[in-house]
């Protein structure tokens, strides 16, 4: 099997880390482009993972030298409604803590690093769950 592209290795490093999340409650994960049926309202909820490749920066003279590859990992927590918001923000905080600044994730020779402490966003109430986004900024040199 041939080695995966830089982008695929980047994604595989991220996914491997997300798969090790331990929140004290089991939440199904909606992965990009994979079949998923959200759980019924009034359950514990679920996570939605989105990886957003952002910008590649050329830092060196030669085009074959590594480029800085910036991206964003957003993990949306869809938590149970009609309970103290501290429950949802505590879970979101645990997700953020799982991706501390300078955490290194590697797959197929590509290393991805968390640039800074993740941001836990404002809870957003919808009809079935309360959404709390967790935004993680990443970089890789490849």
Task: State yes or no: pLDDT of 62 exceeds 70.
Answer: no
Residue 66: band (very low, low, confident or very high) from pLDDT cuts 50, 70, 90: confident
Rounded CA gap, 15 and 99, in Å? 12
Residue bearing the bigger pLDDT, 83 or 63: 83
Q: Collapse the DSSP code of 118 into the 3-class scheme (helix H, G, I; strand E, B; otherwise coil) and give the result.
A: coil
Dump pLDDT digits (tens) for 80-126.
999 999 999 999 999 999 999 999 999 999 999 999 999 999 999 98
For residue 69, what pLDDT is reported? 86
**Of 128, 126, 124, the residue nearest 42 (C-alpha):** 128
For residue 27, what pLDDT is reported? 95
Domains and CATH numbers, the chain: 6-141 (3.30.2000.20)
Q: Collapse the DSSP code of 94 into the 3-class scheme (helix H, G, I; strand E, B; otherwise coil) and give the result.
A: helix
Residue with tokens 């890789």: 140
């Amino acid at each position: 099997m041939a080695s995966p592209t830089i982008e695929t290795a980047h994604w595989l490093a991220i996914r491997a880390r997300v798969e090790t999340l331990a929140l004290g409650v089991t939440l199904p994960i909606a992965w990009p482009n994979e079949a998923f049926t959200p759980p019924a309202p009034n359950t514990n909820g679920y996570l939605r993972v989105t990886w957003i490749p952002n910008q590649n920066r050329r830092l060196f003279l030669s085009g074959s030298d590594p480029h800085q590859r910036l991206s964003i990992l957003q993990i949306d927590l869809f938590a149970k409604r009609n309970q103290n918001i501290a429950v949802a923000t505590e879970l979101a905080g645990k997700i953020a803590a799982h991706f501390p600044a300078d955490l290194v994730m590697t797959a197929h020779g590509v290393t991805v690093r968390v640039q800074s402490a993740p941001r836990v966003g404002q809870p957003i109430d919808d009809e079935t769950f309360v959404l709390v986004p967790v935004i993680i900024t990443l970089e890789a040199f490849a």
